[in-house]
């Protein structure tokens, strides 16, 4: 009993560290908003294509203030979802993975937020290399923890077949962990591929995503037969 309590306390500490880092990211976003808004022009770049060329523009209000608000809304949503999930009791069994997912997503948005605003200020940063690298890191982190996620309605690979069976859910997420990590590696190397490879990259990435859906169906069919 004593050992079990000690493990729970250590686990809670790790989860709290994730939450602290997430909160620091959120605070950084709002501090960034106060810094960027007065000095950015009214019209800023909001999107870049595959090779890092600007192809979308918008107002500085959304770029500087809107994104931190969206990040905060996502954080609140993450805290709220377990309360309305019919499988809410499962969340305590993958609390660390759930927090890591939040950290990966909000961390990604925070880095992109600062990089894009700095580029709009004239800093010579390579969007075409930094953004894919951050996305790749997010996929790798999520892939590492994906196998630990238990059956729920909001996080993970949700198909009719994974939601209908804990066995199918588990096997699909073990498979999905490898797919996410491989996808992350693809994003890491993407900036160094020729621009003509963009279509092939998209096809490969979509094939990897679809493979998790197909795999869940095949495992479900196998389970039904057995």
Residue 16: its pLDDT value, please?
Answer: 67
Q: Given a cut of 60, is residue 225 above it in pLDDT? A: yes
Q: What is the DSSP letter of 100?
A: H
pLDDT tens profile 115-174: 999 999 999 999 989 999 999 999 999 999 999 999 999 999 999 999 999 999 999 999
pLDDT tens profile 75-130: 999 999 999 999 999 999 999 999 999 999 999 999 999 999 999 999 999 998 99
Give the 3-state secondary structure of 158-195.
CCCCCCCCHHHHHHHHHHHHHHHHHHHHHHHHHHHCCH
Closest-CA residue to 95 (of 1, 180, 11): 11
Q: Give, for 43, the enclosing helix (H) or strand (E).
A: strand 43-48
Residue 50: its pLDDT value, please?
Answer: 76
Q: What is the pTM of this model?
A: 0.86
Where exactly are the structural domains of the chain? 2-225
């Amino acid at each position: 009993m004593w050992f079990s309590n000690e493990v729970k306390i250590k686990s809670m500490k790790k989860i709290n560290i994730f939450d602290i880092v997430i909160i620091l990211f959120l605070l950084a976003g709002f501090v960034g908003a106060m810094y960027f808004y007065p000095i950015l022009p009214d019209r800023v770049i909001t999107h870049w294509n595959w090779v890092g060329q600007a192809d979308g523009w918008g107002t500085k209000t959304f770029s500087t203030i809107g994104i931190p608000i969206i990040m905060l809304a996502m954080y609140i949503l993450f805290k709220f979802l377990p309360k309305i999930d019919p499988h809410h009791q499962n969340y305590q069994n993958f609390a660390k993975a759930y927090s890591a997912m939040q950290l990966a997503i909000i961390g990604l948005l925070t880095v992109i937020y600062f990089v894009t605003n700095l580029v709009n200020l004239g800093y010579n940063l390579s969007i075409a290399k930094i953004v894919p690298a951050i996305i790749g890191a997010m996929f790798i982190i999520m892939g590492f923890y994906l196998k630990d996620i238990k059956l729920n309605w909001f996080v993970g690979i949700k198909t009719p077949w994974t939601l209908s069976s804990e066995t199918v859910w588990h096997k699909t997420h073990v498979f999905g962990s490898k797919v996410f990590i491989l996808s992350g590696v693809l994003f890491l190397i993407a900036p160094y591929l020729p621009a003509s490879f963009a279509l092939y990259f998209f096809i490969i990435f979509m094939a990897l995503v679809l493979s998790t859906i197909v795999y869940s169906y095949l495992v479900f069919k196998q389970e039904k037969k057995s």
